[in-house]
Amino acid sequence: MLKIKKIVELRKILESYRLNKNIIGLVPTMGAFHAGHLSLINRARRDCDQVVVSLFVNPAQFSPGEDYNKYPREFESDIQKAKAAGVDLLFAPNEDELYPRKLLTHIEVADITDCLCGKTRPGHFQGVALVVAKLFNIIQPDKAYFGEKDWQQLKVVERMVYDLNFPVEIVPLPVVRDKDGLALSSRNQYLNQVEKRQALVISEALKMAADKIKSGQRYAVKITGLVEEMIAKTDGVELEYFSIRQPENLTEVKVIKRKVLLAIAVRLGKIRLIDNILVEVSDNVSDYAKEQNPSGNNYRG
């Protein structure tokens, strides 16, 4: 595995790959690798001839007062994990390499960044779009791999790629969880043992909400109320949002009629965690349908 810090050096190596018509896969990361990152790398390894992993804690996506300075940095451990996973190139630039001068260019993906995490993290998705666009221009991958845990981020990247005609295929992969159901995150290592137990309410609340939908509840406000009540009963956990959304454009859903995204963000002290699940509505009978047609006659979903 080659460890590269300079853009010029990276481009020279990538040029040789392209001359050999290699398929290049990119896994963008901020390091502190866990099984979720490794699932992306493993999939890229299966799909591509050459795998590039970027390792860069991007200051542009941290809002003032967030944990940029404290974000986990485990470079030596990440190197060993990347090497063991079969990564060909580890691109680990310093800040001056990617942002040598004051930024005058910004990328904003409108509408889908106005909700969920976008409401409480001003500028976050501009920073995400900017660094991903820079990586796509520098590396020019054929495929890029993103986890579905950051669903809103995934949709921002997909829309940016579509709108700006980047010649890259975005490959999403499912959320990876520990045995207790907690979605894996680099920020999980901030949690002490008590907080880890408290954080389990996140996945439990999502499962409860999904079960309500599958059993026929179709009013989002009723499900939201149940989640809020459940979180409120858990000491140390503050609900930032729970929302039921259309998966692609992230518009709010009030009456559930088809597949929906259940998205949640909570805080445990200064630690912020997010999670989500998709729920497919497959039954024809619901609370909503019954209320519209109490007799149950001639109902069609």
Regarding whether 259 and 160 lie in a shared domain, the answer is no
Verify that 202 and 234 share a domain, yes or no. Answer: yes
Q: Are residues 62 and 112 both part of a single domain?
A: yes
What is the model's pLDDT at position 225?
A: 98
| DSSP secondary structure letter of residue 297 | T
- What's the length of the chain? 301
Instruction: Give the ranges where 148-279 is alpha helix by DSSP (H).
Output: 151-164, 193-214, 220-232
At 74, list the tokens.
Answer: 């485990």
Cα 200 to chain centroid distance, Å, stands at 19
Q: What is the mean pLDDT of the chain?
A: 93
- The yes-or-no verdict on residue 301 having pLDDT over 80 is no
Residues 56 and 159 in one domain: yes
Classified as helix, coil or strand, 181 is coil
Distance CA 192, CA 204 (A): 19
In a domain? residue 181: no
- Write the CATH number for 61: 3.40.50.620
Higher pLDDT, 57 or 294: 57
Q: So what's the pLDDT on residue 282?
A: 73
Q: Are 159 and 240 in the same domain?
A: no
Residue 226 sits in a domain of what CATH number?
Answer: 3.30.1300.10
pTM for the structure as a whole:
0.93
Active-site residue, 106 included: no
Same domain for 19 and 100, yes or no, is yes
Strands 143-147 and 169-173 turn out to be parallel
Tokens 């944990």 found at: 67
What are the backbone dihedrals phi and psi of residue 266, each rounded to the nearest 5 degrees, phi first? -135, 165
**Measured distance CA(97)–CA(17) in Å, rounded:** 23
Is 263 inside any structural domain?
yes
Are 190 and 164 in a shared domain? no
Is 255 contained in some domain? yes
Inside any domain, residue 296: no
pLDDT tops 60 at residue 299: no
My answer on whether 140 and 196 are in the same domain is: no
Q: Residues 227-254: pLDDT tens digits?
A: 999 999 999 999 999 999 999 999 999 9
Instruction: Categorize the per-residue pLDDT at 285 as very low, low, confident or very high, splitting at 50, 70 and 90.
Output: very low
Domain count, the chain: 2
Q: Do 241 and 122 lie in a common domain? A: no
Q: Give 283's pLDDT tier (boundaries 50, 70, 90).
A: low
Do 154 and 121 belong to one domain?
Answer: yes
Final residue in a domain of this structure, among 148, 173, 198: 173
290 domain-assigned: no
pLDDT per residue as tens digits for the range 261-282: 999 999 999 999 999 999 999 7
Find the catalytic residue in 34, 37, 106, 124: 37
Burial of residue 218 (CB within 10 Å: 0-12, 13-18, 19+) is: buried
Which residue range(s) make up the domain with 114? Answer: 2-173
Minimal CA–CA distance to 13: which of 67, 41, 52, 66?
52
For 59, 72, 166, 238, the CA distances from 67, given in Å and listed in that order, are 10, 9, 31, 18
What is residue 284's predicted lDDT score, i.e. its pLDDT? 55
Helix axes 124-139, 7-19, angle to 10 degrees: 50
10 and 145 together in one domain: yes
Buried b / exposed e over 161-196, threshold 16 CB at 10 Å, is: beeeebebebbebebbeeeeebbbbbbbebbeeebe
The one-character DSSP state at 274 is: E
User: CA–CA separation, 153 vs 199, rounded Å?
Assistant: 22
Residue 73 has pLDDT above 50, yes or no: yes
Burial group, residue 226, by CB count within 10 angstroms (0-12, 13-18, 19+): middle
d(CA 261, CA 244): 6
Angle, helices 220-232 vs 193-214, to 10°: value is 160
In a domain, 291, yes or no: no
Residue 125 DSSP SS3: helix
> pLDDT at position 293, please?
46
